[in-house]
A and B are shown apart, each in its own frame.
Chain A
Amino acid sequence: MITFKINDKEVQGEEGQYLIQVAEKYGIEIPTLCHHKALDPAGMCRICTVELFDGRRTKFVTACNYPIWEGMEIKTETEAVHQGRKLIVEMLYARCPEVPLLKKLAQQYKIETPRFKKEDDDCILCGLCVRMCERMGNSAINFTGRGINLRIDTSLGLQSDVCMACGACASVCPTGHITLEKIKKKFTKQNPFMIPSEYEMGLKGRKPVYVPYAQAVPNTPAIDRDVCMHFKTGGCGVCSDICQMDAIDYTMKDEIIELDAGAVILSPGFKPFDPSKFDNYGYANHPNVMTAMEFERILSASGPTSGHLVRMSDHKEPKKIAWFQCVGSRDMNKCDNKYCSSVCCMYALKEAVIAKEHAGDKLDCTIFYMDMRTHGKDFERYYNRAQDQGVRFVRSRVHTVEPLHDSDDLRITYVTDGGKKVDEIFDMIILSIGLEISPEVVDMAKKLGIELTDGNFAKTSTFKPVETSRKGIFVAGAFQGPKDIPQAVVDSSAAAGEAGAILAESRNTITKIPEIVPETNIIGDRPRIGVFICKCGTNIAGVVNVPEVRDYAATLPFVEYYSDNLYSCSQDTQTTMTQIIKANKLNRIVVAACTPKTHEPLFQETLINAGLNKYLFEMTNIRNHASWVHKDAPALATQKAKDLVRMAVAKVALMEPLKETELQVNQVAMVIGGGISGLSSAKTLAQQGYEVHVVEKDSVLGGQANHLYHTYKDENISVELASLIKDVKSNKNICLHLNTTLENVQGFVGNFKSELLDNHKVSKTLEHGVAIIATGARAFKPEEYLYGKDERIITSLDLDKKFLSKDASLKSIGSAVFIQCVGSREPNRPYCSRVCCTHSIDNALELKKINPEMDIFILYRDIRTYGEREYKYQQAREAGIIFIRYDLDHKPEVDIKNGKIFITVTDHVLGRPILIEADLLTLATAIVPNKDEKLANFFKVPLNEDGFFVERHAKLGPSEFATDGVFLCGLAHYPKPIDEAIAHGQAAASRAVTLLAKETVHTSGNVASVNSMACSSCGVCISICPYSAPSFATQGRFEGRAEINPVLCKGCGLCVASCRSGAIHLKGFDTNQIFAQIFAMNEAV
């Protein structure tokens, strides 16, 4: 260690360091133009000159390449130093008067016009580029010429083979003399290219060392070996030099790891369709034709335009945007994707609505589509809303996009419904590209020996929706078929449940139990606070002066220990922290680092390992809330960090050890509803080894599936349903309660008590840990289209019954008509029933099988045969089934005249009403929910406007409720076909197992509690709590006063703020703690 003085302040540095490095460490600013920490110093610009006193006399040295020695004295800001720097700046400014950097410096040194003759150069000959190129292992450029002709160039001034166009020289050039354009034109023979950022869909570049995206897990950078210069030349290695943790190892090789697994789940996902092969859309050649995935990035606040809606060619804000649906889907001519990609209608709608939100209502958004497929939960409402907001919908497939010559706009030509040809000009075109399976995944499937469908998706059966053709291999997500997020989440839970079922025996066999450190009792002890300030590499230390904050922390009350860490979250720091806590007998800990949302549990773990209660901890965020967001104001950021640390110290001093209540989870599940979804759920739970009680109000199992004939994959439903019922009945873990209703439910997660009543009015109590709601839905009974007036006018389920009973009368039918959306997508029922299009098409084809001569008409609004159901639609058209579209304002009319059924419908092509005589009219009726408010009340779970249950999260929590321990599946959630209902049942079971398998649940310590002495029994807390945690005590000394169930409490603090008596305390966020933070805010520093 070498000790010397800078500006009379004692500083220390390592042997061999240069002066500038030590100055930087102490935050002393020395200007430089030619220094770069990755490169050897060269002393080119001389701006870093400082005054050195060596004990006898002063001299001037350049800080960047002057090695430090013991006892030297440095002055960085004397008048002489300043004058010298000013002269250098003046000369450089004269040489390069247009360079922004020098303009700024000149201003700083108060030089208005240089005394020297102005030139028009932009190179200051700092040599950074030359040194950088050498470091890259190339030396493609160097200084050439002599004296005033000195310049940077390649050998002989020719475009060089040596230059690999890596761009490192341009990245260090301080003046903009070297640009990528110049490298391309002057330096290299190669074609420089941007490394496309995969996350930004290639709209932006990325570096060879990169983190794929900000929220990536793990958030560790990777080196792209294909583009990294080190792997090309052996040079560079800058990242390795800079990394303070020595984490970079260029010799790492790809490894093949062998795992023993009892089950495999495939979830490789999809590849967005690449539309470059369609030259008619001009995607490959025109920047303003982009894919919907690219447009997502444009709309994103973290995207390449920071969420500013502009088009790529000229960064102009667009006035008119068009979406083309079905690009790479439902297309047999140009690509082989015959299926519907299921998600594109909805994402196009969403993008149009968000684009309008960004750019204002005037933005013209037009969606060109074939059928609008908004068959998901609440999607139809979104579609209606988009129409109200002025998104334009045109039912037409656009053939060609033609770029205009005099602008970057695009002209399209399309044919309207009425057959009119229209020309329209748009600023941007978004291609709603489909989902497809990549060739690599197809290869993988071949290797694994699993069967694929025509669309290259993993083949599954309706009754085993997540099982591939090979036993033990399961599938989840878009590889099973194109689907949206909630469906993919359902699948993944289901696949985990099914894999868990075959592995149930080996559960917990390779679990390691951590050693439990006994907790030190600190009650009554004076606070001994330990403060740890994290540098987070340079993430924090690069802006906030960490040593200063650390030293400041030392002055705060009760602080007994303080230190800074390079990375507080690293494993070795955790170990050191544990030792420090023990050695210094610390009893409160503050960590000033990143966000508690991700790292609090980690540090709490450290506290536990050190024998401290994990609530004796406070974390304050000086990274996300200070260094990262105030990088241009280091002094103020440091001040803010100090304030935050002071506030945290004030709060932590008041922390008390909190107890987490441990609660046994009753290992019994109750499934309400014995339909196909509930039964699947029960089966999965039973296979995982849990006792299951199925409560069914009816006398038979199977629910609506009993009325169905076959699936769209031609599987016989009654056979498969019988087999499922047999499995359920023969499983000794399953107890069936038929003809039974639920009368009351008490308790909470892990400990429910339900009262069951059977048809003999015998009531019994069932104790269970979890509940699954699978109460299903029913078919809508229509009042329109003369239903019930004639036995030839029936519903889809009635037709299935005829098929099931092999009704001979079907053979004699000459003409059959189906009317779609009966009771669905109506103003009073604004949702799509999801299954009816496929069902009617399937039944129509069945009729064709019975009598190929039959005339069949399907009257529809939009055909919604999503995914590979689309094949059925194609098959139906090929079979001669006639599809006639109608709209809500012109619904078909049904008449009976002279004993004959007549249907009038306005044909969308001819625009004229046509009359069809039908021997059979089938109404595709809606699926309507049971709207069971009583049940909803029992479990405190919500119903939506339509009467379906509302899940925890529309996308990420489709199989559970916000209420802990209560799960949901099947039609009670939303209309769905059998395969999805079964997967949903399995998923709900799987989610329930995650709770059951824990056997105990820990409540959080951050819960509210009542000081009964102060409670005035006003009941405000009871009425205000969204989780029903408070109640009046029914017995004991404080009968009638409020008490709070810590199990139900989510720690929101609503009751605390509302308590007029100040009787409620929220542990961890108590009133005195928040006051302490407020008081600490403005304490004198």
Chain B
Amino acid sequence: MDEKNIKIVAFLCNWCSYGAADLAGVSRMQYPTDIRVIRIPCTGRLSPKFVLSAFREGADAIWVSG
């Protein structure tokens, strides 16, 4: 895995950060391509297991945002 190809798994709350991500798109703001979004209904849904498993699957970082 070279430096350019890092992967950040983003668990985004459907109502908050996912909306912000949509709006960032609408506003055509540009940001790095590293994140992979997993939409969750609420950050409360998140269990530590997901975080560990994401690392196990090769994620370079995790981002949880409500």
Contacts and interface: CB of A to CB of B under 8 A. Distances in A.
Within the complex, are A and B direct neighbours (CB within 8 Å)? yes
Interface string A632-668: 1100110110011001000000000000000000000
A1054 B26 contact: no
Q: What is the interface residue range for chain A against chain B?
A: 35 or more
Contact of A1066 (B7, B19, B41, B58): B41
Given A628-B25, A1069-B45, 12 more contacts: A624-B22, A624-B25, A624-B26, A625-B22, A628-B26, A629-B29, A636-B33, A643-B36, A1053-B41, A1078-B38, A1078-B53, A1079-B53
A640 B36 contact: yes
Given A630-B33, A633-B33, A1052 B45 contact: yes
Contacts of B49: 1071
Contacts of B61: none
A301 interface: yes
Nearest to B30: A629
Interface string B3-38: 010010100001000110111111111110100111
Contacts of A1056: 45, 47
A333 B32 CA distance: 57
Interface in B42-62: 42, 44-47, 49-50, 53-54, 57-59
A636 B50 CA distance: 25
A1078 B54 contact: yes
A1066 B53 contact: no
Among A625, A1075, A1079, chain B packs the most CB atoms within 10 A around the CB of A625
A297 to B, nearest CB: 14
A1075 B37 CA distance: 13
Given A214-B27, A1081-B7, A1052 B33 contact: no
Interface string A1025-1065: 00000000000000000000000000111101110000000
B18 to A, nearest CB: 7
B2 to A, nearest CB: 12
A138 to B, nearest CB: 31
Interface of B: 4, 7, 9, 14, 18-19, 21-31, 33, 36-42, 44-47, 49-50, 53-54, 57-59
Given A1066-B45, A1078-B54, A1082-B59, A597 B30 contact: no
Interface in A822-855: none
B27 A302 contact: yes
A1066 B33 CA distance: 30
A593 to B, nearest CB: 12
Nearest to B56: A1078
Nearest to A219: B26
Contacts of B24: 624, 629
B50 A640 contact: no
B8 to A, nearest CB: 10
Interface of A: 214-215, 301-302, 595-597, 621, 623-626, 628-633, 636-637, 639-640, 643-644, 647, 1006, 1051-1054, 1056-1058, 1066, 1069, 1071, 1074-1075, 1077-1079, 1081-1082
B33 A1057 contact: no
A693 to B, nearest CB: 35
B12 to A, nearest CB: 9
B34 to A, nearest CB: 9
Contacts of B57: 1078-1079, 1081-1082
A1051 B45 CA distance: 9
B36 A644 contact: yes
Contacts of A1066: 41, 45
Contacts of B28: 628-629, 631
A597 B36 contact: no
Contacts of A301: 27
A215 B26 contact: yes
B19 to A, nearest CB: 6
A540 to B, nearest CB: 11
22 contacts: A597-B22, A621-B22, A621-B25, A623-B25, A624-B21, A625-B25, A625-B37, A629-B29, A632-B30, A639-B33, A643-B36, A644-B36, A1056-B47, A1071-B49, A1074-B38, A1077-B38, A1078-B54, A1079-B53, A1081-B58, A1081-B59, A1082-B57, A1082-B58
Closest 4 CB pairs of A and B: A624-B25, A1053-B45, A1054-B44, A1052-B42
B41 A1069 contact: yes
Given A629-B25, A1057-B46, A647 B36 contact: yes
A1058 B7 CA distance: 27
A644 B4 CA distance: 18
A1060 to B, nearest CB: 11
Contacts of A1052: 41-42, 44-45
Given A647-B36, A1078-B57, A1051 B29 contact: no
Contacts of A636: 4, 33
A1082 B14 contact: no
The secondary-structure label for the interface of chain B is mixed
Contacts of B59: 1078, 1081-1082
A956 to B, nearest CB: 14
Nearest to A302: B27
A1053 B40 contact: yes
Nearest to B11: A1074
Nearest to B13: A1052
Contacts of B50: 1074-1075, 1078
Contacts of A1058: 44
Contacts of B30: 629-632
Nearest to A643: B36
B41 A621 contact: no
Contacts of A596: 39
Contacts of A640: 33, 36
Given A621-B37, A1075-B50, A1082-B59, A1053 B21 contact: no
A957 to B, nearest CB: 15
Contacts of B46: 1057
Nearest to B39: A596
A282 B11 CA distance: 51
A643 B30 CA distance: 19
Contacts of A1077: 38
Contacts of A623: 25
Contact of A629 (B31, B42, B54): B31
A47 B30 CA distance: 30
A625 B21 contact: yes
A636 B41 CA distance: 27
B10 to A, nearest CB: 9
B33 A1071 contact: no
Contacts of A631: 28, 30
A621 B28 CA distance: 14
A1051 B44 CA distance: 10
A89 to B, nearest CB: 28
A595 B25 CA distance: 10
A1077 B12 CA distance: 13
Contacts of A1081: 7, 9, 36, 54, 57-59
B38 to A, nearest CB: 5
A990 B6 CA distance: 52
Among B7, B37, B39, chain A packs the most CB atoms within 10 A around the CB of B39
Contacts of A1082: 7, 57-59
Nearest to A598: B22
Among B19, B30, B31, B38, chain A packs the most CB atoms within 10 A around the CB of B38
A637 B33 contact: yes
Contacts of B14: 597
A1033 B14 CA distance: 31
Nearest to B18: A597
A775 B6 CA distance: 58
Nearest to B25: A624
B45 A597 contact: no
Contacts of A632: 30
A626 B49 CA distance: 27
Contacts of A639: 33
B51 to A, nearest CB: 9
Contacts of A1006: 41
Nearest to B26: A214
Contacts of B37: 621, 625, 644
